[in-house]
Amino acid sequence: MEFLNKLFKDKFAKCAFIILAVLYFVILFADFISPYTSTYSNRDMAYAPPSKIYTIDEKGKLSLPYTYNYVRQYDSSLMQTVFKQDRSKKYYLKIFPKAEKHKILGIIPTSRHLFGTENGGQIYLLGTDINGRDVFSRLLYGGRISMTVGFLALFIVFPIGLLYGGISGYLGGIIDTLMMRFAEATMAIPSFYLLIILAAILPSGMTSVQRFSLIVVILALIGWAGFARVVRGMVLSIKEEDFVQAEKVMGASKLRIILKHILPQTTSYVIIAMTLSIPSYILAESGLSFLGLGIQQPDASWGNMLKEAQEFTNILYRPWLLTPGALIFVAVLSFNLLGDAIRDILDPKSENKYTR
Amino acid sequence: MGITKYITKRILQVIPLLILVSLISFFIIRLSPIDPLAELRLNPSISEETLQKEIKRLNLDKPIAIQYISWAKSFVKGDLGYTSDGEKVSVKLKERIPNTLLLTSIVIFLTWMVGIPLGIIAAVKKETAFDRILTVLSSIGMAIPSFFFAILLLMFAVKTGWFPVGGLTSYNFNDMNLFHKFIDLSKHLVLPVAVLFAISLSGLQRQMRANMLEVLDSDYVKFARAKGLSEFKVVFKHALRNAVNPMITLLGFEFAGLLSGAALTEYVFQYPGLGRLILEAVMKSDINLVMASLMIGTIMLILGNLIADILLMLTDPRTRKTQEAK
């Protein structure tokens, strides 16, 4: 509790915490909040611009919010397809309308969504992509992957790194030398090169769950070595302390000493390193998916959604396709600010130091 | 211990590291379910003879340990095999490595020229408006994904038409005179350099600020101030020397980060560098090319660290002492 109070004293950390809390809340209830399901696609509406929402009607009077549907036309003078609003019919926005069926949290079946339009209306808050899928809905579903991949990778990296560094540091001697040379070798390979190679050798034809879990494992394979090295350094000094010597005299096994007595001493460093390394996993996943080596279509992730934004025509005429990038930025920034604040609290000595 | 002796010792240490790296990458690639010759087989312009030569060179019909030994032998001799397009891997690498080195060295030079002074100013003027603005800017720079920033700049370039997009040279590069060649090259370099510069600058500036603050807080700086030295002398003559040393160690890391960051930037800008080469190779599962560029990337990274260590030894007499003590 005291920790949280300290954390919230920092204005930036407070903002970052709130932003992250909102993001996680939204992706948790993505099925309910998004107006469309993850499989929705309207091929006639490829690259439709964001729906305009009006609160003042054509007579200049205040009205309930409404929107118009788009119709696709071919403009022969411009030689391209354009989207025009169909002004003949207004569609009022509704709260809790009935639409496609889904399950909240995967348990509660319902066909209600948070918002939507009257029957027959379309609402694309952030436009649609090449397959006529609602970008806003996909941002929420994609967030589920992009925002969890980092956490899951951490749960692999940290146990491995702790155990590896702990054993290496405690045993010392030739085992230590061998283990550290191996760790250094994996660190010597440019990490992004290794990442794309590992992602590329994944066999095709996996289910999306399998692919997701393997991507997590690959991300974890990149990060463990640096962490293990730092842990080893800490273990080297901790193992000389009296309480470890006492345990030894009492005849505790080596593994017990490492797990029960030495590693718990590194807790505050581990927490700091964890929060500060989440952003790099988010960035790595989105980078991979951006290249087409990570999460594959039709599953959404912020990285693979941004892939479309590379084409020149999309850059010029469809700026709404850039929104996933903005979200990655916001998420990473928030994690960085939060991590900095947590470090300052847990490790006041290194107040101005920015750990790598 | 003399510096030359130290350097030879360090280079000798690199050899087992390289062997280990090659072992790791070789087994990752070979144990994957990918047929290393699949592309070669599908390419009609590759003759059966070349194919057989390749199978023989890689010893694909023999156990994996022997495959590795034969690969290592030909790698040491400088024979890297052929790409799936039938080109020599070594030729392709020779074409790409200078481009990546050009990009990264410009970026490192610029970041140091700008980042170090900015870090010093931010530390000296701690908690002023200037420092706060820099902190905000560097937080933004550290959080923005390189490929997203690259896309934003691409958008800018396409809209304004000020910068050429893609490649390193224009199609009529060979007809230009030296001056125009230089202009053309720089114009193509502006955008990728800008992306990598902005991102590595933020980290460097922050680190320099932190180091400087730590040094400014130390006793000997307080003593220098108490002696009545001018603030300028205190900062630049006494504090700076100690604050810069840790940065030199970081140079190696920075180089590593740039190699990785450059891959995505090169991809977005279609820049013909090593990063994009390995990406294309990976997508085509061109094993020879992947293996070779992985090794070259690793060698470049290790060399970067080596240079940083040697520089540190030259600037910081204490590291020389510890070397002697060993």
Q: Does residue B75 sit in the same domain as residue B113?
A: no
Chain-centre distance for alpha carbon B26: 22
Query: Under 8 Å CB-to-CB from A71, ≥6 apart: which residues?
Result: A83, A84, A85, A86
Query: In what order do the strands lie in the sheet containing A115-117?
Result: A53-56, A62-75, A80-95, A115-117
Q: Does residue B120 sit in the same domain as residue B71?
A: no
Q: Does residue B48 sit in the same domain as residue B102?
A: no
The pTM of this model reads 0.85
Q: Does residue B23 sit in the same domain as residue B79?
A: yes
Query: Under 8 Å CB-to-CB from B170, ≥6 apart: which residues?
Result: B164, B184, B188
Q: Does residue B43 sit in the same domain as residue B134?
A: no
Nearest CA in chain B to A12: B136
Q: How confident is the model at residue A21 (pLDDT cuts 50, 70, 90)?
A: very high
**Domain residues for B118?**
89-283
**Secondary element (H or E) of residue A136:** helix A135-171
A349 near B CB under 8 A: no
**Spatial separation of the C-alpha atoms in residues B289 and B277, rounded to whole Å:** 8
Here the CATH number for the domain that contains residue B269 is 1.10.3720.10
Q: What is residue A105's three-state secondary structure?
A: coil
| Amino acid present at A325 | G
Question: Which among A53, A91, A90, A44 has a CA at the least distance from the CA of A71?
Answer: A44
Q: Does residue B63 sit in the same domain as residue B169?
A: no
Asked if A316 and B155 come within 8 Å (Cβ–Cβ), the reply is: yes
Query: Quick check: B272 pLDDT over 60?
Result: yes
| Residue pLDDT, tens place only, A211-266 | 888 888 888 888 888 888 888 888 888 888 888 888 888 888 888 888 888 888 88
**Spatial separation of the C-alpha atoms in residues B194 and B151, rounded to whole Å:** 12
Buried b (16+ CB within 10 A) or exposed e, A252-289: eeeeebbeebbbebbeebbbbbbbbbbbbbbbbbbbbb
Question: Which among A47, A94, A101, A45 has a CA at the least distance from the CA of A67?
Answer: A94
DSSP assignment of A187-212, as one string? HHS-HHHHHHHHHHTSPSS--HHHHH
State the total domains in chain B: 2
Q: Does residue B65 sit in the same domain as residue B149?
A: no
Q: How many CB atoms lie within 10 A of CB B74?
A: 13
| Residue pLDDT, tens place only, B61-114 | 777 788 788 778 888 887 777 776 677 888 888 888 888 888 888 999 999 999
Q: Does residue B225 sit in the same domain as residue B100?
A: yes
**Spatial separation of the C-alpha atoms in residues A149 and A288, rounded to whole Å:** 12
Q: Does residue B120 sit in the same domain as residue B217?
A: yes
A214 near B CB under 8 A: no
**Spatial separation of the C-alpha atoms in residues B251 and B208, rounded to whole Å:** 12
Q: Does residue B231 sit in the same domain as residue B306?
A: no
In A258-317, the residues whose Cβ lies within 8 Å of chain B are: 279, 283, 286-287, 290-293, 306, 309-310, 312, 315-316
**Spatial separation of the C-alpha atoms in residues B162 and B155, rounded to whole Å:** 11
Q: What is residue B78's three-state secondary structure?
A: coil
Chain-centre distance for alpha carbon B147: 16
Mean pLDDT (whole number) for B242-250: 81
In B62-101, the residues whose Cβ lies within 8 Å of chain A are: none
**Min Cα–Cα distance to chain B from A353, Å:** 5
Q: How confident is the model at residue A350 (pLDDT cuts 50, 70, 90)?
A: low
Buried b (16+ CB within 10 A) or exposed e, A313-335: ebbeebebbbbbbebbbebbbbb
The tokens of A96 are what?
């809790």
Q: What is the pLDDT of residue B35?
A: 66
**Spatial separation of the C-alpha atoms in residues A47 and B191, rounded to whole Å:** 28
A252 near B CB under 8 A: no
Looking at every residue in chain A, the average pLDDT score rounds to: 83
A196 near B CB under 8 A: yes
Most B-contacting residue of A197, A219, A293, A354 (CB-CB within 10 A), to test interface? A197
Q: Does residue B272 sit in the same domain as residue B312?
A: no
| Residue pLDDT, tens place only, A188-221 | 888 888 888 888 777 777 777 888 888 888 888 8
Please name each of the domains of chain A with its CATH number: 2-146 (no CATH), 149-310 (1.10.3720.10)
Q: What are phi and psi of B135, to 5 degrees?
A: -60, -45
B12 near A CB under 8 A: no
What stretches of chain A adopt beta strand conformation (E)?
Answer: 53-56, 62-75, 80-95, 98-104, 108-112, 115-117
**Spatial separation of the C-alpha atoms in residues B259 and B282, rounded to whole Å:** 16
Look up tokens 């797990």; give the residue: A259
B115 near A CB under 8 A: no
Q: Does residue B255 sit in the same domain as residue B301?
A: no
Region of residue B285 (phi > 0: left; psi between -120 and 50: alpha; otherwise: beta): left
Looking at B283, B298, B313, the residue that finishes a domain is B283
Q: What is the pLDDT of residue A18?
A: 92
DSSP assignment of A112-130, as one string? E-SEEESTT----TT-B-T
**Spatial separation of the C-alpha atoms in residues B134 and B67, rounded to whole Å:** 53
A74 near B CB under 8 A: no
In B125-184, the residues whose Cβ lies within 8 Å of chain A are: 139-140, 142-148, 151-152, 154-155, 158-159, 165
